Amino acid sequence: MKDHIKAHLAVFGTTLFFSINYSVVKILIDKNLIQSYGLNLVRIIVTVLLLWLLFAFKKEKKSINKEDYPRLILCSITGIVFNQLIFVKGLSLTTPIHASLLMMTTPILIMFSAAWLLKEKLSNNKLSGLIFAITGAMVLVLYKKQNTYAANTKLGDLYVLLNAISYTIYFIMVKPLMNRYSTIMIIRMLFTIGLFIALPFCVTQFIQIPWHNYTLTDYGLLLLVAVGGTFLAYTLNIYAINIIGASKTGSYIYLQPFLATVIAVILGKDILEPYKILAAAFIFLGLYLINKISK
């Protein structure tokens, strides 16, 4: 099999893992098998162990310079700790469809933040796209009907949006590091530093995990989130970027809402309603206009 085909399969696998995560996280939390911060600590611990195991088989020759550690710590806070904690907390309160659609604001925020920092002029298409995308997000956040699949949809949605903002800050801050070191080294260090930062916030809920109530299926779901939706998702994404580039790899994010919706409906963790379709239409129209090349 050719390398570019493997890369496309890898990034599709990443997208699928992320899409499954939306519903599996809800299943574990709704069954009172784990709380959001406890789940995050499990994800980080498993990912750190696997990344260092990977390092044992393939050691990097280059080490990180001391002057880069402050940026590395800030990236770990915004991209691993705060980002992950508020995302899972938000997902526990809202629905998979809401969360997956609101995550589509991430590439929009990244583009506009980069344009602001680089002082690039924004075209009419991009400004129109921003308005449509914000409108779609507001339709989700401000819809007043009580959702039986969520404990507090509005608060959960706001957490997910904060997660998107946090990831945007991380994405911009981490770029210089990615240019100087291997991506897998940076990811390993980010998760390792993140483990120590997250520990005080998550250890109480981690200790409270009722392991005695877990069935083999429950353990499988937890491993799916920790290994598939975290470790494999990150490493497969890196593999794909190295072969087909960041642009093609990043484009797969637009599949997430579709896959997440199908999976959530099948598993009975959400329902497709007219206002969600309307919100999706606004967000995707916004994304189309933003990515449309002006003549």
What's residue 133's pLDDT? 80
What's residue 295's pLDDT? 43
Specify the residue for token string 């075209």.
123
**Contact at 8 Å (CB) between 232 and 17?**
yes
The domain spans of the chain are 3-291
**Contact at 8 Å (CB) between 253 and 104?**
yes
What's residue 192's pLDDT? 94
Q: Could you list the pLDDT tens digit for every one of the 295 residues in the chain?
A: 677 788 888 888 888 888 898 899 989 998 999 999 999 999 999 999 999 998 877 766 678 888 989 999 999 999 889 988 998 888 888 888 888 888 877 777 777 776 666 665 667 777 787 788 878 887 777 776 666 666 677 888 889 889 888 888 888 888 888 888 888 888 999 999 999 999 999 999 999 999 999 999 999 999 999 998 888 888 888 778 778 776 677 677 778 888 888 888 888 888 878 888 888 888 888 877 776 654 4
Q: What is the pTM of this model?
A: 0.83
What's residue 102's pLDDT? 83
What's residue 224's pLDDT? 92
Measured CA distances, 146 to 18, 30, 79, 88, 127 (Å): 26, 17, 31, 20, 32
> ∠61-62-64 over CA atoms, to 5°?
145
Q: Token pair of 27, please? A: 């299943």
Q: How far apart are the first and last CA of the chain?
A: 38
Q: Token pair of 262, please? A: 């199908």
